[in-house]
Amino acid sequence: MAAVGAIVKAMVDGAVPSREELSLLLAATGGDFERLCSAAQGVRWARVGPDVYLRGLIELGNWCRKDCYYCGIRRGNAGVRRYAISDDDALESARFAHSNGYASLAIQAGEDASPAFIARIENLLHRIAGSTKGELGITLSLGEQTPAAYQRWRAAGAMRYLLRIETSSEQLYAGLHPADALHSFSGRLAALRALRACGYHVGSGVMVGLPGQTLDDLANDLLWLRDVDIDMVGLGPYLAHPQTPLWARRHELWPLGVRLRVAIAMVAALRLLMPDINIAATTALQAIAPDGRERAIAAGANVLMPNITPRGRQDDYSLYDRKPQAADAQSDSLPTLAARVEELGCQIAIGNQGNSRHFTKRLEQSAGG
């Protein structure tokens, strides 16, 4: 079996690894882990450069129709205070992002497919475009919706959509969700296809270190992301939340340090596998180590999503335990982030929407025949 160094080198040269080889990369520690990360960073310089793109993150509300066993804002959690920020507050956050050079927004909320919600988002998108000269790139992360809803939001100016597959193993997926039509694996896949058909830049991703998940499962996740030709990825460690059913399985979990290392190895392996996609350094990494996001950037991640939800609301959007809270918001201030990113030899691309080159290239290829 090839050693990590040889697998990494072959991938830098464009070879597509087997699942077994990817599993070996994900198991890498010590010098092998460092080699994996620095090779990924090398590919990043060569293919997407030193830029780190910003998406100002707005968490609109935490009401959710779903009941996922891992998530703190699941419908069945009576212990969470439900909130929704007003459109005016969201608009103010959007203007803040626009005037501070964020250039892109990510709008998230619990899943709501009511006609009122769909109309509200459509209206909000129009208002944001109207008050920021249409200059912000907009990513939505609002769960599974009908193709018609996706189309309306696309027409109202959203161009990117993030919908995590959570795990590409249908069997694991079934263990993480209630067995009903609202939570079906095939429904998730259909939603991702609908997003692609609407012309969105499509993002997905997984949780790392779920109970019962193996390195082989994660290697399959990487190959799945490649198979669906994803444009952007957000992935992070699974963090048990006390008010969820999966909390009962917390004793099965890999130690936090292992979950962090494997999540970063996932970022690095993905950069080698899909050199020109956008990869986010996610907040869940920061929940394990204060510099978790920076470590992901040093392994090839090129997107940061600083939380710009109005203060006082962030505390209620608690998907997992240990989420960095409003008190830490200072760590998301632009000068602080810029200095940290520069220490890694990267730079925050102020004023740049930061589209996925992978998306742009696919468009060109399909236009060119």
Residue 107 C-beta: closest distance to ligand 5AD, Å = 12
Q: What is the DSSP letter of 274?
A: S
Q: Does residue 238 touch ligand 5AD according to CB under 6 A?
A: yes
Shortest Å distance, C-beta 45 to ligand 5AD: 29
Tell me how far, at minimum, the Cβ of 118 lies from ligand 5AD, in Å: 19
What is d(CA 33, CA 295) in angstroms, rounded to the nearest whole number? 12
CB of 285 to ligand 5AD, least distance (A): 10
Closest CA to 261 of 233, 225, 298: 298
Cβ nearer to ligand 5AD, comparing 241 with 271: 241
Region near ligand 5AD per CB under 6 A, out of 98-106, 234-242, 264-272, 307-315: 234-242
Query: Dihedral sign, CA of 166, 168, 171, 174?
Result: positive
Q: H or E segment at 106?
A: strand 104-108
The count of C-alpha atoms lying within 13 angstroms of the C-alpha of 113, restricted to the half-sphere facing its C-beta, is: 12
- 173 contributes a contact to ligand 5AD by CB under 6 A: no
Amino acid letter at 143? G
- Taking the complex as a whole, how short is the minimal distance between the CB of residue 149 and ligand 5AD, in angstroms? 18
Q: Note the helical H segments in the chain.
A: 4-12, 19-26, 30-47, 87-99, 115-131, 147-155, 170-176, 185-197, 215-227, 256-273, 283-288, 292-297, 334-343, 357-368
Of the candidate residues 166, 217, 231, 332, the single one contacting ligand 5AD (CB under 6 A): 166
Query: Phi/psi zone of residue 268: left (φ > 0), alpha (ψ -120 to 50 degrees), beta?
Result: alpha
| Residue 245: burial class (beta carbons within 10 Å; 0-12, 13-18, 19+) | middle
Residue 89: CB minimum distance to ligand 5AD, A: 20
Q: Which of residues 87-126 bind ligand 5AD (CB under 6 A)?
A: none
Q: Which stretch binds ligand 5AD (CB under 6 A): 213-221, 233-241, 291-299, 331-339?
A: 233-241
Is residue 288 within the footprint of ligand 5AD (CB under 6 A)?
no
Binding letters toward ligand 5AD, positions 191-210, x by CB under 6 A:
----------------x---
Choose the stretch contacting ligand 5AD; rule: CB under 6 A; options: 35-43, 238-246, 336-344, 354-362: 238-246
How many alpha carbons fall within 13 Å on the CB side of residue 305? 28
Tokens of 108: 């998230």
Which of residues 118, 265, 319, 349 is near ligand 5AD by CB under 6 A? Answer: 319
Instruction: Annotate each residue in 36-75 with x if it binds ligand 5AD (CB under 6 A) or - if it does not, as one string.
Output: ----------------------------------xx----
Residues at the interface with ligand 5AD (CB under 6 A): 70-71, 164, 166, 207, 236, 238-239, 241, 284, 319-320
